[in-house]
Amino acid sequence: MKKLNKAQVATILFGGFFIFILYLLPKLKTEDQISSKSLAEVDVESTHNHDVRSGVSLSSTAQDILDNLENQLSDVKSSEEKLIILDSLINFASSEKQPVLMAVFFKEKAKILQTEEAWMQTGDIFFKTFRFSDVDEHVVIEEAISSYEKVLELNPNNLAAKTALGVCYVEGAGALGKAPMKGIGLLMEVLETDSNNIDALINLGYFSIQSTQYDKAIERFNKVLEIDPENAEAFLYMTDLYVQMGDIDKGLSYLERYKSFQKDPLVIAQVDAYIEELKIKK
């Protein structure tokens, strides 16, 4: 039986990659987050990162727009002006469905803003790009890791960043050429600090499924549902878990429960499609 991976879960939850990306990335604040010191001292590096951007392909018209905006960026001096142009570049990358470019320009904003939020959002989009796009995986996962590490430099107690960093190390183990245990260790550290941390529990549960440690997975997802009885990911992964164990009916029961509190027609349609897929395989 094919496993339900994180990309499929995201599709069921949000109906597509760019809906998912934009859902996670609210617009960054600009001037009110910049100190007078940063305005005077920041020097934004060129946004041309050829390692990350090597796979980006645009039409000639889109390339002209990109070149024009980047030329404007290189010409302006103040951080306020740079942030305005970077917002335009991010909107352009979004309209062209180019997550790599979005990540590059979010990174440039983070270099100016130097806030936890800015680096967290940069890490999130690099990591989602790693998960969903056909990119140079090694380079992109390294960018995600670097961004989350910058969050933790600013605030070592940021559990969301530590969780995300742990997930990067586990899911990126193949691309990084490293064992995943460093990431598992970071997730366990999060639970030592906050035993009810849903993000850490969800991810550890997912990794338990991948390593066929089903008892651990059930324990973790049940705990999530005790904390949050309508947690979508827990329901979907419990479905996947029981399907892999050969109990499709039990898996379907979790999927039907998840569907029962949904209101978004797109999500309901995705769930119905998965229900039909599972019924065919019974």
Q: pLDDT for 255-276, tens place per residue?
A: 999 999 888 898 888 889 889 9
Per-residue confidence (pLDDT) for residue 109, from 0 to 100: 97
Amino acid at 56: V
Q: Please give the tally of structural domains in the chain.
A: 1
Average of per-residue pLDDT values in the chain: 83
More confident residue, 248 or 25: 248
Q: Taking the model in full, what pTM does it have?
A: 0.79
Question: Letter for the amino acid at 152?
Answer: L
CATH number at residue 140: 1.25.40.10
| Distance, CA of 237 to CA of 230 (rounded, Å) | 13
pLDDT digits (tens, 9 = 90+) for 139-195: 899 999 999 999 999 999 999 999 999 999 999 998 888 889 999 999 999 999 999
d(CA 118, CA 135): 23
Residue 13 predicted with pLDDT over 80: no
CA contacts within 13 A on the Cβ side of 212: 3
**Confidence tier at 35 by pLDDT (50, 70, 90):** very low
In a domain, 186, yes or no: no
Per-residue pLDDT tens digits for 190-242: 999 999 999 999 999 999 998 999 999 999 999 999 999 999 999 999 998 99
Specify if 215 maps to a domain: no
Structural domain harbouring 117: 1-178
Q: Which of 188, 192, 198 is nearest to 226 (CA)?
A: 198
Model pLDDT, residue 34: 35
Residue 196 lies in a domain: no
* Element counts in the chain: helices (H) and strands (E): 17, 0
Closest C-alpha to 83, from 47, 53, 132, 52:
47
Among 35-44, 150-159, 243-252, the range of highest mean pLDDT: 150-159
Token pair of 14, please? 């949000």
pLDDT of residue 46 exceeding 80, the answer is no
Residue 251 domain-assigned (yes or no) = no
Tell me, yes or no, whether 257 lies in a domain: no
Smallest CA-to-CA distance from 130 within 5, 19, 7, 28 is with 7
CB 208 within 8 A of CB 220: yes
pLDDT band at 27 (very low <50, low <70, confident <90, very high): very low
pLDDT at 243 over 50: yes
